[in-house]
Structure 1
């Protein structure tokens, strides 16, 4: 990952791609006021620098049969670097874990988990999460509905 300086045109490119990652270079260049070749070079530079980390489709979890979102706060027995790495490695194969954050405060880790229903989540807890060594305690909170969700970073 390179450390680069970005200008107003780069910011416009990033904003447009956050709104629609499927834009062609021709469409993108038109929206940001560049010709296609310099626009393509800038996009490549932003990708190489790691500012554009990748492209993906945003899927509707409910439409795909995973309507339940649960936040699981995890307290670990130990918080050493080795214990955290071991915990992280153990969680990587768990496809129901959509996000995992190291936290400050009384809980060490916060997970965002998706499930089909309560029974599916219970199976995930019993068969996967609670079998991870080093967990002292967990506390789960079920979402009732998503009030705000942004996939776009604030204007930079």
Structure 2
């Protein structure tokens, strides 16, 4: 990956809808060179996809919560069962396996407190692998970004 690939990635992180012509202007290459490089970045998996960022409040999602989960038993079967649950649930936006006191940290969205309570009680706490959950509700969003610091890579 060279400086032009990084420029292409940086530009696309800020606006994934750029045409190859617009991208070429921003990075200093021809449209055909940008097109080839973009395609190669996609095929190699560096660019995983393109998405639209949706305002959660405008679609009825009022709460964002951070939930820490502790397993009741640290065997591979329990961990795999919980990973499958987290991957398949649309309310779970992000899920991380951790070192330290908690085993997993997940970011969950819900319509309201009742919806969040149902998720915690009926999905997480009812799961055989889960021993304990700790939930914090986000009071506001200070920063939410998908842009990676490519100059540090």
TM range (shorter): over 0.9
> Within 2, Cα distance between the matches of 1:11 and 1:91?
32
Query: Greater CA deviation, 62-71 or 14-23?
Result: 62-71
**TM-score with structure 1 length normalisation?**
0.91
Residue 38 (structure 1) aligned with residue 72 (structure 2): no
Residue 123 (structure 1) aligned with residue 118 (structure 2): yes
- 1:114 corresponds, among 92, 109, 130, to 109
Structure 2: which 5+ residue stretches go unaligned? none
RMSD over aligned CA atoms reads: 1.2
Q: Secondary structure at the match of 1:131?
A: coil
Deviation at 1:79, TM superposition (A): 2.4
Q: Secondary structure at the match of 1:63?
A: helix
2:79 maps to 84
**TM-score with structure 2 length normalisation?**
0.93
> Within 2, Cα distance between the matches of 1:58 and 1:146?
14
Structure 1: which 5+ residue stretches go unaligned? 1-5
